[in-house]
Structure 1
Amino acid sequence: MGVAAVYGAGYWVGILTARDLSLVGQERLSLYQGTLRSALEKHRYLPFVLSRDEGIKNLLSVEDGREGVVTSVNRVLSATNQKAESDVLYVLNSEGTTLAASNWMEERSFVGHNYAFRPYYKDAIEGREAGFFAVGATTGVPGYFMSHAVQDKSGVKGVIVAKVDMRPLQKQWHNGGEHVFVTDNNGVIFLSSRDEWRYRTILPIRDQAMTRIRSDRQFGGADLLPLNLRFHNLFGRSVFEIDGTKYLSLTRDSVKPGWVMHFLIPLKLVEEKQQTAWVIGAVLLILFVLGGLFLRERRQKLRSAQRARQAGRFQAINKKLQLEIDERKRTETQLLKTQEDLVQTGKLAALGQMSTAIAHEINQPMAAIRTFVASARLLLAKGKKESVKESLTEISSLTERMSNITGELNSFAQKASVEYEAVDLRAALQNAINLMETVWKPDEIKLDFQDLGTPVFVKGDLIRLEQVFVNLLRNAVDAMDKQSEKKIFVCLRQIDHCAIVIVEDSGPGINPQNLDQIFDPFFTTKEVGEGVGLGLSISYGIIKDFGGNIRVENAAKSGARFVIEFEAVLNRDV
């Protein structure tokens, strides 16, 4: 970690140094670009002004006696060139041949030479203001050529050209000791503070571009070979490696279209600051490690003394925690037993409240059986065996009905261990309905049970689910006690992974103030002696144990609606 921190610090110093150098470089770029713009703009007006000179226009229009006009124009151009401090001023006719020039007296005079191959002539003769950097075809001196058409009422007669010598500007850059150069749209370095980089390229030139350069004779006989240049990226910034030396590269579009000015800062400045940061960081790291070792040894001595004192306290705390854990386990066991007893008490309470109706339901078949037995004796005495057989069939049917009632009561009342398994909600609902129908008076309750016709499985316990549904059905019956029309609607649905049971009655509904308390233990709206308020609370606890949810709301027209939701078991093996 310490080594990583030292390295990270050096890396961060490198980033900051590169950023600072970039800011300084941008300022230097602005300065160099200003000198280049000044050198060009200083003479930009010359072609335009001279194109309106009457002497030059006369030179391009006369046919005879031209010699006197040429001499006059040569002298004007020479004087103007000396005053403006440009390199050469000269006039081309419509064929591109030089008629007059400021250097007419020199050995390498432009007079008589044809420059129709130059782009600055082609652009100007078509009426466009032009500029072009090139090595002089006659003198071999590099410069920037600016041109403007000379026109009269009949059209373009010729071209006036001003050449600006760029050597003083490059000498100024060289004396500054910095690395700056300008490339054109072909990547050729044509202005540079380093002589060995001039007329080299930063990328290989395409054949088509090379052909055009040779046709324009832009760089004389220069080979235009690529620099020994490799491109890198450091701290998210461009880096040039030229002949093994790395430079931080800053670029900016220059004063003419396609020109790009490059300012290179030796990366050695960044590396030196990074190395200094790493040395300082390493020294600090060593001091930190030594201090840490000293503090660690001191802490270990203090801890040894503390451990001896804490050992006894830890033993006492561990013993106390173990006692609390044992007590918690006993309490949880007792709570589970109490919950099971409470569930069983609720079932027995429900059976107690239904006992009168159940006894009536059993007494009716019993009385019928006694009647059929007495009738069978008389029929046997009279020898009517076929009639006796009918009586025995009726007795068998009645005993089967009594067996179903007692079987359902026994299944509902037994105290079974809770085992979570895949349980069919449809079967649980049907069993609860069958049990309740035995205690309802005939035609007293109209029950509408809508289901899917297929099993719907949830994870739970069949007996407890039956108890939930019996409690809800009993509550529905009790709620409709004073209603003239008693209807119970039971619905079973499955939507994706959700099984839904709805139990709705046609009673008066629940007071909105009581909706939040309806599942609280011992909360009841019944008269004293008719209920203790445990049925819905027990049902709520059973449903929550099975991972379900129950809610109550008032139906749109009248009555209460209980909605129970379980997670459906799609794979019964789960």
Structure 2
Amino acid sequence: MAAVFGLAVLLILGAGEWATRNELETQWDNLRRSSEVQALALRGVATRYSYLPFTAAQQPLVADLLRHPASQSVREAANAYLQAVNAHAGSDTLYLMDDKGLTLASSNWDTPSSFVDQNYSNRPYFRDALHGQAGRFYGVGKTTGEPGLFASAPVQRDGKVIGVVAVKVRMQPIVDTWAQLLDPVFVTDERGILFLGSVSSWLYKTSKPLPVEAVRQVQHDEQYGAQWQPAPVPWKLLQRPDQPGAELRLPGSGKHYLAFAEHLPDLGWTLTLTADSKVVALARQQAWALASLASGLLVLGALYWQLRERRLQENRQARIELEQRVHERTHALQQAQAFRQSMEDSLLVGMRARDLQGRIVYVNAAMCDMVGYAASELIGCLPPYPYWHPDDLDRHWNDSDTSLAGKATPQGNENRLRHRNGSDVYTMFYTARLIDGDGRHIGWMSSVVDITAQKRAEEQQQQREAQLQRVQRVITVGEMASTLAHELNQPLAALVNYAAAARALAAQGRTELLNESLAALSTQALRAADIVGRIRRWVRQHPEAREPCDLNAAVDQSLGLLLRAEARRHGVAVRLDLAPEPLRVRADRVLLEQVVLNLGLNALQAMQVHATPPMDHELLLRTRADAGHACLEVQDRGPGLPPEIAERLFEPFFTTRSDGLGLGLNICRSIVESMGGELLARNREGGGAVFEIRLPLHATPPVASP
């Protein structure tokens, strides 16, 4: 019997221990799950209005008040704006402070507890925003004495913080939810001060000793009221190393709770949920009773087990329902916040929301102003919409069908709308899918940008460009005429000289020399005709005049035409430094010779106006091959190229000579560039100038072997 009795005792004790552990695990699991739900709800309330200070800080009216705080009209407008935004968002108070912490405008400006003219420079959220950071702070209001969560954002202009916008949010709704729970729920800050909870007598008491510096800081910030003094909470918290939480004891009351702490590092808070430990004791006592009657009351034991499982199922079902309600409420808050956020982000452009059938379900004020219709006149409308332009109905139908089919281009569509007053409004429509909180596609959201001013500016620009093209054609005609006159000047001068020589030789009866002069005269006449034809083809950009030719031969031909005779007439020595091998290029031979002749004549004229002695005058023509190019340098000993002249050297109609047209160098450069080369100019070492022609070398095809 003793053994049986001992076994019974062991069974009873084992059953009690098992029941205790099982119930503890159940309670800890319940607390863990509840803490996840409550933490989600707490974060949702704490961050619900964090966007509001930043959005209000972007309002130009806020910056105007900070720049002109003494302006009554600006202050009234700012008060009205903050009051409207606060009422629309549903927050407690929205207010603006200058960089000294003085409140200039507030949404509650017309109430007895107005924040206007109150100074909050000692608040941490003000200091954080003043340093360019978003601030968050929970405390008792200095003006109203009511606690709340304060969020702030800086007002910046030109990289400098000029003020702070803050919003106050009451946390009472979540406290009211906790009040419906049977066991205490509370939140402590990073210092261990209990500031939010279902037991009001515990508020603003400390859960651990505070350093003197921490007490002074809380009192300086007036976080929990101007008269706050540290006082310990009326309970003790005992850590349980073998459990995921602690045991909370209320001395004098005999109450014990299981306490589970959830740290919220993003908020700097700690959320603690409790459960009465009587449930564990009751489970242990029930296990003892069941174990005592187990040998003879199996049926009753089975019934008890069924009842126990039913109670656990009911608890689980109740927990699931609570989690579902919290999830639905959080989901609704997220939906509202996402919708309001998109509205706030698009205040400067028109916004239009349509369902999947194309029915307008929302328009903002900017859209109404753009088309002249009230929101009540547009919401519920199906295509065709009243602001569609009657001349573009086909295009409007096509764009609408494309958007509703999900094929709108990301670059947007340009549309012409008809304002209610009959004026035309040019817009750009950008359409994207409208997604609800469950990820379902419920319609289309369009951003509408008014580009009427841009279109008018483009039309004016097109008109100016057309006028510029007409002026350019007139200038081109003048340049062609000047070019032709300039290029024919040398061969015509040669014709006059040869004709005069022919008359003199005819009078003298020198037949042989007369025939040579007449042959040279005929050659110059043909050259003039060739120049006219080549210039005509060059102007028309006909490339067929190009042919392989030798740059050295072009230099020799230019010397024989006029250059050497002009050099002798001016008393200038001509020196050649030509490459030993032919420098073959693909170019228009006549125009290339004309460029060489023009550059040589320019060099002779430059040396005539220079004050150096005539014996120092020298014209050097040098050719060479350099990195796949054939190069010709025309070097003189003239005055060189001053910086102010070098910058404008190739501009049309720029000249330093009183009788010049200013087209020679511009024409020469155009001819060289048309042949794929370039014309460069620089000062010559020792005095004078160097003009260099660089043309691509033309490869000679190899001769086939017999």
| Structure-2-length-normalised TM-score | 0.39
Of the two structures, which has the highest relative contact order with CA contacts closer than 8 Å and spacing of 6 or more? 1
Question: Greater Rg, structure 1 or structure 2?
Answer: 1
TM-score by length of 1: 0.48
